[in-house]
Chains A and B, each alone.
Chain A
């Protein structure tokens, strides 16, 4: 099949972007979406043109590297599917496909379809862990965890940190990503001691990064390739409210400025 691609091209963070029209010829229906872009890029390279920059790594839907708005939908909008697992058989000859990067103030574009998701790392850094040093852990079976709790924690922990939730949200909110990590850790007995602290700090960092507020639309759940449930947002709100009631807000939140973690070369 032959396709017309309208691809977002942007030289770097500070340049203006634009949609470029590129023809994709003889596309095989068995190709994945990214393999289609690989073939287009190969031709661009041989023509001496700049290939389209896009992020990808594992190409089996688990690393969370690939992104792209495809015809206005994160990862193309097929249920439980990342861009790397989307196949060309979903398109037909003559289609026009619009490909854009994630759209969010907290995800600045680095080049073409590549964005900087460092804000997610900084949110994890603010409290997305259990404070236990290596060594000295008790026997793994000392604390039983009910199957139900373990399964629910796993449902939340399945998040791949791709950012589709943010890209799909009209407010650019990161609530589903943050709620998934807060819920995973707050549900487990091992995560309880830091429960209040964690939710306060992670939300403070989320706000600092410039993500929008949640208005309970639920497009994040629909766009999530791992089908993370919005109920986790409700759980996080409950944890947040409880933490405030317990007086947790009197502590200064442990956040970092957006610039702090960016690697400045040369390295000291």
Chain B
């Protein structure tokens, strides 16, 4: 299989305009003849549904939540980047483009990222027109803040709830199309399989989560906007329901999965407090502006932090990275915290935590100033831990947060399976090996509002494969497969809950395929994963029946997919013998820093499924830079 990214020819800054002028269109009166399926109602899915509905297509939208407004985009805090240059501080589209490429450690596609930077300005215009209440200054104009990885202030925000406000904007735009009859919404519905007709994506199999009914949905094209797979680690900052099932099922039907090993670990989260813990909560990265990170110098020091004298504290980031100090980049800060905890110097219950101390900042600028800057975060911290961070240091620890990898897509956001489009975090396209803060919201909305409305028309105008009938044997067979899988799970009647397997695989992945990976740890994981999976199918117990609302069953189905997907993630991590971005292989470092290998690994690793337990085939899409020079990121 030859991977063709279909990058348009011509100068970088003209590619998208040229492409838009050249691709095929569907006439307005004909659009209503086409049915489009969208799975997921986060920023990418909801904005795509709204835009395609406005154009006149028949859109069917599916989400597992009780309402489309609850997708996990809602939890994004910080903001959304756009190269508006409203601050007159030298921002340009090129600068946003370059920051994103560099932040991604030179593993993303030039043409895609440039388009993203171009569209960023339209997103802000669109959202303001929809009534998104962005922060404003006293003159009534839009305010900006600065964020990691850039030297300009280009981040637009709505308090600490930017994701919520952007999602409500696109949800409301979608509900307007529901009112106009162009979008049909199916909440509490899970996608369980993708259906192909003559090699093209033409439908899905869904389960109604209230009645358990399995049914087929046919369409002219299928869009997956189902988010990332951080929950493979069990504990992450993702919502409980976030899962890999939709994109993994597509992978099993032949869709290439690209760079699964590129996962992002966020350094400032509230640490795990016990076995019962269900998820981790992110604390904004901005805290590192005023907080100092430290652990006791001696392992096993259990004194109260306020009783540990200054000369027995190790401010390890300031020591190791004097010029960046506590503001070292995300991956560095995360790995350093892990190292000191591995040495037995971690703090708090379980010893997986480091202190983030504000006492010096309070002495320097006063408590009032700290309350003003971070008051809501200190409140949230106290609500969860019961500790007052004005009086004693916070405890923080890194946690899985975002996944850069996803289904492979070309410039049109179409997968190697024609008719299958993948948007937002679910695809691999724009963030390379590491995503910059405030760029996930930008990408989700660019894909949904401004890319897919054009590129899907080109596919529909050129395909010869019509929308099939759901009476087709392909649908019947896919339905049967799903029903059999559910029967198998319900009849296992073993001795362990599905969640216990999720916790087990999560811990295995976190310990061996998490922040620091080695050949040995990856091989350990690859040996263990099939064993856990085998025991799962033999020894799981699922309560209840299919024909009712059954959360245990819903969850078990998702866990079954994680148990398979984990193997793909580890295989990709083993194959990529270099350290870059969020992927750190301990064998490949120079003076403790990640060592990239551009000569051998400047490619997108796109994996093709060959059957469970068989090694997937690796297809390489070379990453070629025509306009930027690959460089080493330096932190010292």
B159 contacts the other chain (Cβ, under 8 Å)? yes
A35 and B272 CA atoms in complex are apart in Å by 13
Query: Which of B54, B126, B548 touches A111 (beta carbons < 8 Å)?
Result: B548
Which of B212-220, B290-298, B309-317 lies at the interface? B212-220
How far is A173 from B127 in the complex, measured between Cα atoms in Å? 31
Min Cβ gap B225→A in Å is: 15
Which residues, 224 to 245 on B, are CB-close (under 8 Å) to A? 239-241
Contacts of A157 in B (CB 8 A): 133, 158, 165, 168
Are A132 and B133 within 8 A (Cβ)?
A: no
B208 pairs with A263, CB closer than 8 A: yes
Which residues from chain B contact A50 at a C-beta distance below 8 Å?
A: 543-544
When distances are taken between beta carbons in the complex, the residues of chain B under 8 Å from A137 are: 122, 125-126, 128-129
Which residues of B sit under 8 angstroms from A45, Cβ to Cβ?
Answer: 497, 541-543, 552
Using CB atoms, name the residue of chain A closest to B278: A35
**Is A150's beta carbon under 8 Å from chain B?**
yes
B574 touches A (CB below 8 Å): no
Do B139 and A117 touch (CB < 8 A)? no
B residues contacting the other copy or chain, number (CB 8 A): 94
- Are A28 and B239 in touch, CB under 8 angstroms? no
Pairwise interchain contact A263-B186, C-beta atoms closer than 8 A: yes
- Which of A51-59, A210-218, A236-244 faces chain B? A51-59
Q: Which residues of B contact A160 (CB under 8 A)?
A: 164
Is there contact, CB below 8 Å, between B175 and A34? Answer: no
Find the B residue at minimum CB distance from A254. Answer: B179
Is A257 interfacial (CB 8 A cutoff)?
A: no
Across the interface, A265 reaches (CB within 8 A) one of B159, B215, B239, B548, namely B215
CB-based contact B131/A188 at 8 Å: yes
**Known interface pairs A87-B383, A129-B172, A190-B128; A49-B543 also in contact (CB < 8 Å):** yes
Q: Which of B141, B239, B542 contacts A58 (CB 8 A)?
A: B239
Contact with A along B374-407 (1 / 0, CB 8 A): 0000000001111000000000000000000000
Q: B215 to chain A: which residues have CB within 8 Å? A: 265-267
- Which residues, 19 to 40 on A, are CB-close (under 8 Å) to B? 28-32, 34-36, 38-39
Contact B240–A56 (Cβ < 8 Å): yes
**Does A146 sit at the interface, judged by CB under 8 A?**
yes
Specify which chain A residues have a CB less than 8 angstroms from the CB of B142 in the assembled complex.
140-141
Determine if A110 is an interface residue (Cβ-Cβ < 8 Å): yes
Please name the residue on chain A nearest to B496 by beta carbon: A46
Q: Which of A35, A143, A157 has its CB near the most chain B CB atoms (within 10 A)? A: A157
Contact B176–A134 (Cβ < 8 Å) = no
A31 touching B139 by the CB < 8 A rule?
Answer: no
Q: How large is the interface on A (under 10, 10 to 19, 20 to 34, 35 or more residues)?
A: 35 or more
Which one, A1-9, A62-70, A92-100, A164-172, is touching chain B?
A62-70
Tell whether, in the assembled complex, residue B384 and residue A58 are in contact, meaning their CB atoms are under 8 Å apart.
no
Q: Mark B170-210, 1 if CB is under 8 A from A, else 0.
A: 01110110110000111111000000000000000010101
A258 partner residues in chain B, CB cutoff 8 A:
none
- Residue A48 lies at the interface, judged by CB distance under 8 Å to chain B: yes
CB distance from B210 to the nearest CB of A (A): 6
Using Cβ atoms and an 8 Å threshold, which residues of chain B touch A44?
543
Interface residue SS majority, chain B: mixed
- Chain B residue at minimum C-beta to C-beta distance from A186: B131
Interface residues of B in 41-63 (CB under 8 A from A): 47, 50-51, 54, 60
Binds B, one of A118-126, A227-235, A245-253: A118-126
User: Is A72 in the interface zone, CB < 8 Å from B?
Assistant: no
Taking the closest CB of chain A, its distance from the CB of B298, in whole angstroms, is: 26
**B453-A134 in contact (CB<8A):** yes
Q: Report yes or no: A63 in contact with B75, Cβ–Cβ below 8 A.
A: yes
- Contact between A190 and B239, CB atoms less than 8 A apart: no
Contacting residues, chain B, for A48 (C-beta < 8 A): 541, 543
Flag B149-179 by CB within 8 Å of A: 1 or 0 each.
0000000001101001100100111011011
Complex contacts, B551 vs chain A, CB 8 Å: 51, 53
Main secondary structure of the interface of A (DSSP, over half): loop
Any B CB within 8 A of the CB of A154 = yes
* Cα–Cα distance between A266 and B471 once the two chains are bound (Å): 12
B431 within 8 A of A: no
- In this complex, the member of A55, A130, A190 whose beta carbon has the largest number of chain B beta carbons within 10 angstroms is A130
Residues of A near B497 (CB, < 8 A) are 42, 45-46
User: Whole-angstrom distance from the CB of B583 to the nearest CB of chain A?
Assistant: 27
Distance (whole angstroms) from the CB of A4 to the closest CB of chain B: 19
**Closest Cβ neighbor of B214 among chain A residues:** A265
Whole-angstrom distance from the CB of A146 to the nearest CB of chain B? 5
Contact of A117 among B67, B75, B158, B206 (CB under 8 A): B67
Does any Cβ of B come within 8 Å of A161's Cβ? Answer: yes
Residues of A within 8 A of B140 (CB): 144-147, 150
Q: How far is the CB of B324 from chain A (nearest CB, A)?
A: 29
Nearest CB of A to B185, in Å: 7
A62 and B161 in contact, given A126-B179, A188-B131 (Cβ under 8 angstroms): yes
B373 within 8 A of A: no
Shortest Cβ distance from B500 into A: residue: A42
Chain A residue with minimal CB distance to B54? Answer: A133
B276 touches A28 (CB 8 A): yes
| B441 at the binding interface (Cβ < 8 Å) | no
B252 at the interface (CB under 8 A from A): no
Across the interface, do B449 and A134 meet the contact criterion of CB distance under 8 Å?
yes
Does any Cβ of A come within 8 Å of B9's Cβ? Answer: no
Q: Which residues of B lie under 8 Å from residue A46 when comparing CB positions?
A: 495-497, 541
B130 near A: Cβ within 8 Å? yes
Given A87-B383, A261-B178, 4 additional A-B pairs, CB 8 A: A58-B72, A60-B281, A140-B127, A154-B133
- State the B residues within 8 Å of A (CB): 47, 50-51, 54, 60, 65-70, 72, 74-75, 84, 86, 122, 124-131, 133-142, 158-159, 161, 164-165, 168, 171-173, 175-176, 178-179, 184-189, 206, 208, 210-211, 213, 215-217, 239-241, 273-274, 276-279, 281-282, 383-386, 449-450, 453, 470, 495-497, 499-500, 541-544, 548-549, 551-552
Closest 7 pairs between A and B when the two form their complex, measured CB to CB:
A144-B140, A129-B172, A137-B129, A137-B125, A140-B128, A263-B186, A154-B133
User: Could you name 15 residue pairs across A and B whose Cβ atoms are closer than 8 Å?
Assistant: A38-B499, A46-B497, A121-B67, A128-B172, A130-B129, A133-B54, A134-B47, A135-B126, A137-B129, A147-B138, A157-B158, A261-B178, A263-B184, A265-B211, A265-B213
